[in-house]
Amino acid sequence: MKYALLIPLAATLFVATSYSQERIYRCGNEYTNTVSEAQAKNCKLVSGGNVTVVPAPKPSAGRTAAATQPGQRVDAGDQKSRDSDARQILESELKKAEARQAELLKEYNNGEPEKQGGEARNHQKYLDRVAELKASIARNESDIAGIRRELGRAPAASAAK
């Protein structure tokens, strides 16, 4: 009965030692476990832990040649279309931001917005809302300035659309 437990234990130890890795050498960005190759290339022994090398992914067949090659030029018509679309998006975002700014300024009422709900009894709640409105106005002004900068960088819309 004693030996019945020792046999699986011995088998486990035998299997575990057979899977241990050999010495691994690093040669720049390459790894090898061949001693002669490591000596020929003057490689260094990697110590402490196993090494896992993952190959770089292959480009998928679904990509087009233009998408995989850097420096490819885009057709002038396509670029004008993209520029026009980008400009339209920026202009619509600017309109939304300006409308939001008008709403915020109206609600802010020069620093004295109308009190809502429980703010008549809780003055701190009112002050917090006023501070939040002021911060929202400042953020929105910054957003508007950023959109205007982007519009200034974007190529001018062509006269013929």
Q: Taking 90 as the threshold, does the pLDDT of residue 154 lie above it? A: no
- Among the candidates 34, 49, 64, a domain finishes at 49
**Residue range(s) defining the domain that contains residue 29:** 17-49
Which of 14-28, 33-47, 71-85, 121-135 has the lowest average pLDDT?
14-28
Answer yes or no: is 63 within a domain: no
Instruction: Please indicate, yes or no, whether residues 119 and 82 belong to a single structural domain of this protein.
Output: yes
Q: Exposed e or buried b for every residue in 72-92, given b needs 16+ CB within 10 A?
A: eeeeeeeeeeeeeeebeebee
Output the pLDDT for position 161. 45
Output the pLDDT for position 3. 58
Using an 8 Å Cβ cutoff, are 55 and 77 in contact?
no
Q: Give the whole-angstrom CA distance, residue 152 versus residue 67.
A: 28
Q: What is the domain count for the chain?
A: 2
Answer yes or no: is 160 within a domain: no
In this structure, what token pair is assigned to residue 112?
């004295």
Answer yes or no: is 67 within a domain: no
For 51-99, the pLDDT digits (tens) are 677 778 887 765 555 454 677 888 888 989 999 999 999 999 999 999 9
Output the pLDDT for position 160. 45
Q: Give the whole-angstrom CA distance, residue 7 versus residue 126.
A: 78
